[in-house]
């Protein structure tokens, strides 16, 4: 669809990747405090992607995913979505809250766990972004959805389309003990917000 | 997303993983020639593209679909009209309620443009908070809506 943003420089994209790494590192520390084993979160990919490709990054339009969604309020507004394929979501819940009913499709407890994980990860991600930029950034309480990847991700894209064209996609891997759990973090800055963030890091333009 | 497809008997038309988007099908009930458009937003005026993709928006996608199915040989008075989608995928409690409601506005816009074209809706499955895969088999004219965890139902 050609809405990908090509105005960003390599330096700016590197900066986004770096702050995503730091943010996810902070989120991993927060998550480690909840589980007995150490959690590492790596960011194999941080990119500005074409909106049409977003569902494919979760394995296809009809792949069932569990997602949490927070709005970012404060000095730079945006939207933050964390999504996992349901199998990954179940393994994540089992590691973080052993004994919780696992089926995110059926169990309110499992959805609450996804909401709480979303809350911890979003808050710590934004806290580290706040520290780096000295901007005040806060998440709202997460909303949760379990549905087709295409339905959830295009909903975010469509909701934002009228106000912005910039999507920052961060692919994440959680390493907990010997397990690797894949997730997707989508940050959608509102107009001007990405520039505000980059400027405060000295790479505005 | 933002696609328009025309088909004939032997073809299947599908829109995978609709969230707030709408899948709209117009098909000639005699010849089974038809088409599907997958619209993402209500109005093309919001586009920042110099040449917006018409199938992406309800105001341009609905008339375009009618034009294309008629060009393919469908007769207007014999058209079956069915649509699905238009959900709000996340519900926020209280003050966080999104003011955007893009799914609801998409469904309203598609209905409005169908009405302007004097096309009567036969069946629709819109709204709610769940995604849908919408499909029609042009051999049998069987329309189905698939929902995560609930399987497939005929529309």
**What is the rounded CA–CA span in Å between residue B134 and residue B25?**
10
Q: Name chain A contacts of B149, Cβ cutoff 8 Å.
A: 64, 105-106, 146
**Sequence-distant (≥ 6) Cβ neighbours of residue B132 within 8 angstroms:** A148, A151, B17, B18, B23, B84, B85, B87, B125, B145, B146, B147
Element spanning A82, H or E: strand A78-85
**Sequence-distant (≥ 6) Cβ neighbours of residue A40 within 8 angstroms:** A28, A174, A175, A176
| Two tokens, residue B132 | 């849908």
Among candidate residues B13, B21, B24, B109, the one labeled active-site is B21
How confident is residue B66, by pLDDT bands cut at 50, 70 and 90? very high
Please write the tens of the pLDDT for every residue from A24-44.
Answer: 888 888 888 877 677 777 776
Interface residue A140 vs chain B (CB under 8 A): yes
Interface residue A161 vs chain B (CB under 8 A): yes
ipTM for the whole complex: 0.85
pLDDT at B39: 94
Binary contact (A150, B16; C-beta < 8 A): yes
Q: Name chain A contacts of B92, Cβ cutoff 8 Å.
A: 140-141, 143
Segment A58-75 shows an average pLDDT of 88
Segment B1-21 shows an average pLDDT of 92
Asked whether residue A97 is assigned to any structural domain, the reply reads yes
What is the CATH code of the structural domain delimited by B4-154?
3.30.1330.200
Binary contact (A152, B40; C-beta < 8 A): no
CATH code of the domain containing A119: 3.40.1550.10
Segment A6-35 shows an average pLDDT of 79
Q: Which of B41, B92, B131 sits opposite A158 (nearest CB)?
A: B41
Asked whether residue A2 is assigned to any structural domain, the reply reads no
What percent of chain A shows pLDDT beyond 90? 18
pLDDT at A165: 56
Q: Hey, how many other C-beta atoms are within 10 angstroms of the C-beta on B34?
A: 28
Long-range contacts, stretch B140-147, CB < 8 angstroms, 24+ apart: B141/B27, B141/B29, B141/B32, B141/B80, B143/B25, B143/B82, B145/B84, B146/A62
Average pLDDT for chain B? 91
Binary contact (B40, A151; C-beta < 8 A): no
How confident is residue A164, by pLDDT bands cut at 50, 70 and 90? low
Segment B37-62 shows an average pLDDT of 86
Give whichever of A104-113, A182-191, B93-102 has the largest mean pLDDT.
A104-113
Tally of structural domains, chain A? 1
Domain positions in chain B are 4-154
Between A154-163, B5-14, B76-85, the lowest mean confidence (pLDDT) is in A154-163
- For residue A177, give how far its alpha carbon lies from the nearest alpha carbon of chain B (Å): 31
Asked whether residue A85 is assigned to any structural domain, the reply reads yes
Measured in Å, how far apart are chain A's first and last C-alpha atoms?
A: 25
Question: Is pLDDT of B51 > 80?
Answer: no
Q: What is residue A136's DSSP assignment?
A: -
B132-to-B112, B135, B150 alpha-carbon distances in Å: 22, 10, 10
Asked whether residue A155 is assigned to any structural domain, the reply reads yes
Segment A45-54 shows an average pLDDT of 66
pLDDT at B72: 97
Side by side, the strands of the sheet bearing B132-137 are: B12-18, B132-137, B142-147, B151-154
CA B109 centroid distance within chain: 11
Residue B21 is among the residues annotated as catalytic for this protein: yes
Segment A139-155 shows an average pLDDT of 90
For residue A60, the SS3 value is coil
How confident is residue A5, by pLDDT bands cut at 50, 70 and 90? very low
Question: Is pLDDT of A189 > 60?
Answer: yes
How confident is residue B97, by pLDDT bands cut at 50, 70 and 90? very low
- A-B C-beta contacts closer than 8 Å: 104
| Two tokens, residue B153 | 């139902």
Segment B69-90 shows an average pLDDT of 96
Element spanning A81, H or E: strand A78-85
Q: Name chain B contacts of A144, Cβ cutoff 8 Å.
A: 90
Between A128-132, B22-26, B27-31, B71-75, the lowest mean confidence (pLDDT) is in A128-132
| Two tokens, residue A171 | 């692919």
Give whichever of A18-32, A57-71, A148-162, B46-60 has the largest mean pLDDT.
A57-71
How confident is residue A60, by pLDDT bands cut at 50, 70 and 90? confident
3-state secondary structure chain B: CCCEEEECCCCEEEEEEECCCEEEEEEECCCCCEEEEEECECCHHHCCCCCCCHHHEHHHHHHHHHHHHHHCCCCHHHEEEEEEECCCCCCCCHHHCCCCCHHHHHHHHHHHHHHHCCCCCCEEEECCCCCEEEEEECCCCEEEEEECCCEEEEC
pLDDT at B82: 98
Chain A residue nearest residue B89, CA to CA = A152
Q: Which domain holds residue A179?
A: 10-200
Interface residue A150 vs chain B (CB under 8 A): yes
Q: Which residue has the higher pLDDT, B151 or A6?
A: B151
Binary contact (B92, A1; C-beta < 8 A): no
**Sequence-distant (≥ 6) Cβ neighbours of residue B34 within 8 angstroms:** B6, B7, B13, B25, B26, B27, B28, B69, B74, B80, B136, B138
Question: Which 37-76 residues of chain A touch chain B by CB within 8 A?
Answer: 52, 55, 60-62, 64, 69, 71
Question: Is pLDDT of B96 > 50?
Answer: no
| Two tokens, residue A50 | 């074409």
Average pLDDT for chain A? 81
Asked whether residue A23 is assigned to any structural domain, the reply reads yes
Is residue A141 within 8 Å of residue A150, measured between CB atoms? no
Question: Is pLDDT of A69 > 60?
Answer: yes
């Amino acid at each position: 669809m050609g809405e990908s943003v090509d105005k960003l420089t390599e330096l700016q994209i590197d900066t986004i990747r770096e702050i995503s790494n730091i943010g996810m590192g902070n989120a991993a520390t927060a998550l480690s405090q909840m589980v007995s084993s150490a959690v590492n979160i790596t960011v194999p990919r941080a990119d500005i992607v074409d909106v049409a490709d977003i569902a494919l990054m979760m394995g296809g339009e009809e792949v069932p995913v569990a997602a949490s969604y927070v709005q970012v309020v404060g000095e730079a507004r945006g939207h933050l979505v964390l999504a996992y394929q349901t199998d990954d979501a179940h393994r994540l819940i089992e590691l973080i809250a052993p004994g919780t009913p696992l089926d995110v499709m059926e169990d309110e407890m499992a959805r609450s766990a996804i909401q709480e994980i979303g809350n911890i990860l979003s808050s710590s991600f934004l806290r580290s972004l706040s520290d780096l930029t000295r901007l005040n950034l806060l998440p709202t309480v997460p909303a949760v959805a379990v549905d087709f990847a295409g339905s959830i991700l295009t909903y975010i894209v469509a909701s934002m389309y009228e106000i912005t064209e910039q999507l920052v996609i961060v692919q994440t891997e959680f390493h907990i003990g010997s397990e690797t759990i894949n997730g997707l973090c989508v940050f959608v800055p509102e107009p001007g917000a990405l520039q505000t963030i980059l400027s405060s890091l000295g790479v505005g333009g | 997303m933002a696609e328009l497809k025309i088909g004939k008997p032997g073809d299947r038309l599908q829109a995978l993983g609709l969230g707030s988007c709408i899948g709209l099908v117009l098909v000639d009930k005699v010849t089974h020639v038809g088409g599907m458009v997958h619209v993402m937003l209500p109005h093309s005026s919001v586009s920042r593209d110099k040449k917006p993709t018409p199938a992406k928006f309800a105001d341009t996608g609905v008339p375009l679909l009618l034009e294309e199915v008629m060009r393919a040989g469908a007769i207007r008075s014999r058209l079956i009209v069915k649509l699905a989608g238009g959900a709000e995928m996340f519900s926020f409690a209280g003050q966080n309620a999104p003011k955007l409601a893009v799914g609801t506005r998409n469904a309203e816009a598609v209905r409005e443009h169908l009405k302007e074209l004097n096309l009567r809706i036969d069946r629709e499955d819109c709204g709610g908070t769940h995604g849908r895969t919408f499909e029609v088999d042009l051999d049998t004219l069987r329309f189905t809506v698939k929902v995560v965890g609930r399987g497939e139902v005929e529309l």
